[in-house]
Amino acid sequence: MTKIFLLFTLFSLSAFAQDAVIAVGKAGEEKDKLVVDDPETRSLSGEQKNLAIELTEILRNDFAFYKHKFETIDYFEKGKNSYTSPDMAKWKAQNLTYFIASEIVPKGASLEARYKAYSVLTGREIFSASFKVNRDLLRGAAHGIADSIYRAMTGKASVFSAKIVFVSDRTTVRMSDNIKELYLMDFDGRRVEKLTSFNSMVISPSVSPDNSKIMFSLISTHKEVSRNKVRSIKNIDLKMFDVNTKNISTVSSRQGINSGAIFSARGSSIYLTLSEKGNADIFEMEPGSNQIRQITSHYGDDVDPSVTRDGSLMTFLSNRPGRAHIYTMDPTQKEKDVKRISFVGQFNATPRFSPDGKEIVFSSWVDNGFDLYRIDATGNNLSRLTKDFGSNEEPAFSPDGEFIVFTSKRMVSKGKASQDVYLMNRDGEVVGQLTQNFGHCFSPQWTNILK
């Protein structure tokens, strides 16, 4: 196990530094002014009205995450007939870009939420739809409504209906046990669901392209019989969680590391790190079969692959130069077009592609802690995303490429630290803390939005 954990602590230190780190951010960029008005609720009372108010607040909070795109305006005539009597001239006079109006009425034991969205600059109604809403499914319905309106305004999908898979040690009682389980939450950190109960260490989750499966590695105990004696051996096995059935199966339990697994673009195969032969290399495997194809072959250890959606380019972490740095290659053939692209910091970790495959986000040990960086897949245009915000690791782009989820370890008091999941936009502005008082959190990964 010594070598295994050395690999997961990312080898050793480096003296390299990357030149031309550029500043991040788009100062002075004009934002669209957006109003999510209070709903018209004349026919509601009591709990129904409270439900309507809560629905509206969820919508406002959703759009507030896109504060690099929208300036949310507090409309001074809240709920005054904006749905039944829209006043485009007044909205134009207030320099608004978009106006969202609603009417919420009783519908049996539920509510019917009717929404209209207007492009004020063009004077056009761009969205009109009705939704059934009830208490039990309120947050999911609200995220879906917000996504529908966002698509009408931008022509693109939002992150509102996406979820985040992550690992937490919150069920650990004794630190020596080091228990980590798998969890799932909404993009805004709400509705957290526990997925596993192994009482062991779950690491490195990954979600299939169709959201139906989650892969992860597990520190497992195997029984081995030798010379009529039974002994227990620790191993890093690869597991598969079926989101629909909740069943968990073993994908690979070869001796050593079976970890860092990701799905291929089509989801029919996976890429993972295996160390069965002693050295850690990256392989392609078809789940359910023993067929594997070796991708990397080097005396250095190669781990943590990420691949573009079209499967034409892979990035991975390697200690080929003596310390952990980031490489790219063509994964269709063994060791094809391998290129080192990172030279920043003492060592690097967890490179992840943007959805369009043009950029890679990663963490680097700089100034006695991890910070996040973004770089073109060609190795150009290095940008620093965090500084003086704790120690920041494990970044991953959202499916729309607008956000990066990551973990940050921050000192709470002398000798005590917290590690939580945060969300930033792609230019490094932190827009939300997603977990709090939930143990130490690790390895956040997005589910995918189906187009």
Q: How many Å is the maximal CA-CA distance in the chain? A: 88
First to last CA, the chain: 42
- Whether the per-residue pLDDT at 415 is higher than 90: the answer is no
Is the entire prediction scored with pTM above 0.75? yes
Work out the pLDDT band at 9, boundaries 50, 70, 90.
Answer: very low
Could you read off the pLDDT of 186-204 as tens digits, one per residue? 999 999 999 999 999 999 9
Work out the pLDDT band at 4, boundaries 50, 70, 90.
Answer: very low
Work out the pLDDT band at 451, boundaries 50, 70, 90.
Answer: low
Could you read off the pLDDT of 278-329 as tens digits, one per residue? 899 999 999 888 789 999 999 999 999 999 999 999 999 999 999 999 999 9
- Whether the per-residue pLDDT at 229 is higher than 80: the answer is no
- Residue 216 β-bridge partners: 239
* Topology of domain 2-25+162-446, CATH: Neuraminidase (2.120.10)
* CATH 3.40.50.10070 at 32-154, yes or no: yes
Q: Which residues of 88-107 are buried (b: 16+ CB within 10 A; e: fewer)?
A: beebeeeebbbbbbbbbbee
pLDDT value at position 77? 76
Q: What is the mean pLDDT of residues 85-102?
A: 95
Indicate the burial class of 301 (C-beta count within 10 angstroms; 0-12, 13-18, 19 or more).
Answer: buried
What residue ranges do the domains of the chain occupy?
A: 2-25+162-446, 32-154
Q: What is the percent of the chain with per-residue pLDDT over 70, rounded to a whole number? A: 92
Least confident of 59-68, 262-271, 301-310, 374-383: 262-271
Q: What is the percent of the chain with per-residue pLDDT over 90, rounded to a whole number? A: 78
Q: Which of 1-5, 273-277, 374-378 has the highest mean pLDDT?
A: 374-378
415 Cβ partners below 8 Å, 6+ apart? none
Could you read off the pLDDT of 324-346 as tens digits, one per residue? 999 999 999 999 999 999 999 99
Mean pLDDT of the chain: 90
Give the strand pairing for 213-226 and 292-294: unpaired
pLDDT value at position 278? 86
pLDDT value at position 6? 39
pLDDT value at position 265? 85
pLDDT value at position 19? 45
Q: What is the mean pLDDT of residues 246-270?
A: 93
